[in-house]
């Protein structure tokens, strides 16, 4: 085993093991330091493995390996996941005040699962990490389990994403049937029609995890979890992994002919519609959640049009931007006890470090030049234009929406208002531990756009696939739109239509179309089981006892009486027998003797097969025993 391989294994096993121990113990006092050291080590190891690019595998299930491989895409994404994990845990050390062991333990296990997802090279390993992320996200969204609504939100998140995950199970079946094996890189070589089935299954699973339409609603509920959870799971890791998976299987999508366009349109439509939803939100975390989905829409679009390097750059830069904004929202929520955007007016002035970094992130989110998302988003849009002008146009609308909702929060937090004053509900302070990670993430939010600009962009495009060249005109158009919309938002109030506030009514639809009918069906079947299936058996058993009673009567009145009658006839018979003895027996004996000899020869024949009759008798005997038992039971 090489150093790189060892580093890769330790990077995954260490947080998983430490996390499991922390989650099961109650070492609250030491949990944060232990978790920070672990996450810090994992982040360092992630950098080492990103440079050494190791691969490890061991035999797993279904003839397939549990394969981990650090290719160029993983090398770009892995350090981001590990670094955001570390920074979020630093923040959490100053923000999460209770059950710290459970919190940090779950976060570490989650980060291990996310790192496996990033490096997974085969379907079983991917699915393992993929669903584990979902389960841990359930536990983290419902972290404050005394509040039933938070646990419900975790349940919704897990069930919704698992619905989509079923696509991966189908894809595994297709991979097995297609004969190309379960390695992700080999799927595009699977035989038709299995290749298409695999592509469809993976697409559904990825759209679910990335909360793309129509699965988006689960992320709204997921905001009931602690803010650091949102910062890691709902910006940098789990939701982002949906987009990441599509980037990873881009060759498979492209090979089918249909999956690329479907993916692109799913992404861009989500980006537009969830942009509108984000603009309509009144709570900061809800706005950020909808915006995450919309931004992931650009990554999905990238996968659909083959712009892997652009999509990956957008993914990484967005992680920095959105983790920062979620952490800022968390800091304000703890300090002021509110996340209503109206109540947060002026909050940036009260805590300037938080305010300035959040402003940088919001500007980046808007696509304001020269900050990060301006360049990365444009790399995706440029590729979309090559594919279809309509896609490009829709993408520009989505970009305008990004600027609009970013403007909404940007101006709210800097305008003078209620947020400048303390509130009774909050702690009234933001600790240093909460501020430091924001500065680091702010740096990322500002400069990570270099990934999508020369001289780095051609290098990345070479390594990942995609387009390295940049069009100055398109960059200028994007920057112009962002700046114009930001200015408009300064002037006008944003529209907040009811349907946008309610996330397009998606959850209500899911409840009405899927959840309630399923529960009703379940209750109906349970009644059917008790009143029809079980009663049929019981009735049958009762009939047996009725039959037995009838047979008993038959026994008394018919069989017994026949015997008695017969007995009365015996003397008559005896006299007849005496006569027969005298007349015929002697002659008969001779005749019978010869017949017996013949029968004796015949009797040899069935010797080999006659035993089964014995067993049939056994059956009859046992069945009679069962009947008698049931009669006994019914009467007793």
- Binding residues (CB under 8 A) for another protein: these are 24, 26, 58-63, 124, 127-132, 135, 138, 142, 145-148, 151-152, 155, 158-159, 162-163, 166, 169-170, 172-177, 197, 518-519, 521-523, 525-526, 529, 533-534, 537, 541, 608-609, 611-612, 615-616, 618-619, 622-623, 626, 629-630, 633
Could you give the CA distance from residue 120 to residue 114 in angstroms, rounded to a whole number?
A: 10
Give the nearer residue to another protein in terms of CB position, either 66 or 298.
66
Give the nearer residue to another protein in terms of CB position, either 58 or 473.
58
Give the nearer residue to another protein in terms of CB position, either 148 or 601.
148
Residue 481: CB atoms within 10 A of its CB come to 18
To the nearest whole angstrom, how small is the minimum distance from the Cβ of residue 523 to another protein? 5
Could you give the CA distance from residue 446 to residue 356 in angstroms, rounded to a whole number?
A: 12
To the nearest whole angstrom, how small is the minimum distance from the Cβ of residue 172 to another protein? 4
- Decide if 207 contacts 216 (C-beta within 8 A): no
Give the nearer residue to another protein in terms of CB position, either 258 or 629.
629
Alpha-carbon distances, residue 55 vs 7, 113, 175, 460 (angstroms): 10, 17, 22, 20
To the nearest whole angstrom, how small is the minimum distance from the Cβ of residue 632 to another protein? 10
To the nearest whole angstrom, how small is the minimum distance from the Cβ of residue 526 to another protein? 4
Angle at which helices 308-336 and 456-464 cross, to 10°: 110
Could you give the CA distance from residue 129 to residue 131 in angstroms, rounded to a whole number?
A: 6
To the nearest whole angstrom, how small is the minimum distance from the Cβ of residue 288 to another protein? 26
Could you give the CA distance from residue 332 to residue 335 in angstroms, rounded to a whole number?
A: 5
State how far Cα 67 lies from the chain centre. 20
Q: What is the DSSP string of 359-384?
A: HHHHHHHHT-TTSHHHHHHHHHHHHH
To the nearest whole angstrom, how small is the minimum distance from the Cβ of residue 518 to another protein? 7
Give the nearer residue to another protein in terms of CB position, either 534 or 560.
534
Give the nearer residue to another protein in terms of CB position, either 197 or 236.
197
Could you give the CA distance from residue 142 to residue 151 in angstroms, rounded to a whole number?
A: 4
To the nearest whole angstrom, how small is the minimum distance from the Cβ of residue 125 to another protein? 9
β-strand pairing of 55-59 with 65-69: antiparallel
**282: its two tokens:** 């009144």
Angle at which helices 472-491 and 352-366 cross, to 10°: 130
Give the nearer residue to another protein in terms of CB position, either 170 or 459.
170
To the nearest whole angstrom, how small is the minimum distance from the Cβ of residue 273 to another protein? 26
Could you give the CA distance from residue 48 to residue 39 in angstroms, rounded to a whole number?
A: 14
Give the nearer residue to another protein in terms of CB position, either 535 or 553.
535
Residue found under tokens 């009838």: 550
- Decide if 372 contacts 321 (C-beta within 8 A): yes
């Amino acid at each position: 085993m090489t150093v790189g391989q060892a580093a890769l294994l330790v990077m995954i096993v260490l947080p998983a093991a430490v996390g499991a121990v922390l989650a099961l113990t109650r070492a609250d006092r030491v949990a944060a330091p232990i978790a920070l050291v672990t996450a810090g080590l994992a982040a360092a190891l992630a950098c080492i493995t990103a440079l050494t690019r190791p691969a490890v595998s061991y035999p797993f299930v279904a003839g397939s390996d549990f394969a981990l491989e650090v290719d160029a895409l993983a090398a770009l994404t892995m350090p981001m996941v590990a670094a955001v994990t570390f920074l979020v845990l630093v923040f959490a050390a100053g923000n999460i005040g209770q059950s710290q062991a459970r919190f940090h333990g779950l976060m570490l296990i989650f980060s291990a699962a996310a790192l496996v997802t990033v490096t997974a090279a085969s379907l079983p390993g991917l699915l393992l990490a993929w669903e584990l992320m979902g389960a841990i996200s359930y536990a983290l969204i419902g972290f404050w389990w005394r509040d039933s609504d938070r646990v419900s939100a975790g349940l919704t998140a897990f069930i919704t994403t698992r619905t989509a995950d079923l696509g991966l199970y189908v894809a595994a079946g297709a991979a097995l049937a297609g004969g190309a094996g379960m390695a992700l890189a080999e799927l595009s070589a699977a035989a038709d029609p299995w290749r298409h089935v695999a592509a469809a299954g993976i697409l559904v699973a990825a759209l679910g995890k990335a909360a793309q339409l129509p699965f988006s609603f689960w992320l709204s509920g997921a905001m009931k979890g602690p803010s650091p959870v949102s910062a890691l799971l709902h910006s940098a890791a789990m939701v982002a992994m949906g987009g990441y998976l599509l980037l990873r299987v881009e060759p498979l999508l492209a090979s089918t002919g249909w999956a690329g366009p479907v993916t692109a349109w799913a992404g861009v439509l989500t980006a537009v519609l969830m942009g509108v939803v984000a603009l309509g939100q009144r709570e900061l975390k809800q706005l950020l959640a909808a915006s995450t989905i919309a931004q992931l829409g650009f990554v999905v679009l990238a996968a659909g049009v083959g712009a892997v390097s652009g999509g990956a750059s957008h993914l990484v830069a967005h992680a920095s931007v959105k983790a920062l904004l979620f952490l800022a929202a968390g800091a304000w929520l703890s300090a002021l006890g509110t996340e209503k955007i109206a109540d947060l007016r002026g909050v940036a002035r009260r805590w300037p470090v938080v305010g300035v970094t959040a402003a940088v992130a919001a500007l980046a989110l808007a696509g304001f030049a020269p900050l990060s998302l301006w360049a990365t988003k444009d790399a995706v849009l440029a590729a979309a234009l090559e594919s279809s002008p309509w896609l490009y146009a829709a993408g520009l609308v989505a970009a305008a929406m990004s600027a609009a909702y970013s403007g909404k929060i940007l101006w709210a937090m800097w305008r003078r208002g209620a947020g400048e004053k303390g509130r009774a509900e909050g702690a009234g302070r933001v600790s240093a531990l909460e501020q430091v990670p924001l500065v680091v993430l702010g740096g990322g939010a500002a400069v990570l756009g270099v990934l999508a600009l020369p001289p780095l962009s051609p290098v990345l495009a070479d390594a990942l696939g995609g387009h390295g060249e940049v069009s100055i005109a398109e960059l200028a158009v994007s920057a112009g739109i962002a700046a114009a919309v930001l200015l408009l938002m300064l002037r006008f109030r944003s529209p907040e239509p009811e349907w946008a506030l309610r996330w397009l009514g998606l959850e209500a639809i899911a409840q009405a179309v899927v959840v309630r009918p399923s529960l009703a069906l379940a209750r109906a079947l349970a009644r059917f089981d008790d009143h029809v299936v079980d009663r049929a058996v019981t009735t049958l058993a009762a009939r047996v006892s009725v039959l037995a009673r009838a047979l008993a009567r038959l026994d008394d009145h018919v069989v017994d009486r026949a015997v008695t009658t017969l007995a009365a006839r015996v003397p008559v018979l005896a006299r007849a027998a005496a006569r027969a003895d005298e007349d015929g027996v002697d002659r008969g004996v001779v005749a019978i003797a010869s017949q017996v000899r013949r029968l004796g020869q015949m009797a040899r024949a069935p010797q080999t097969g006659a035993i089964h009759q014995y067993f049939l008798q056994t059956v009859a005997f046992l069945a009679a025993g069962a009947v008698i038992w049931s009669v006994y039971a019914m009467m007793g």
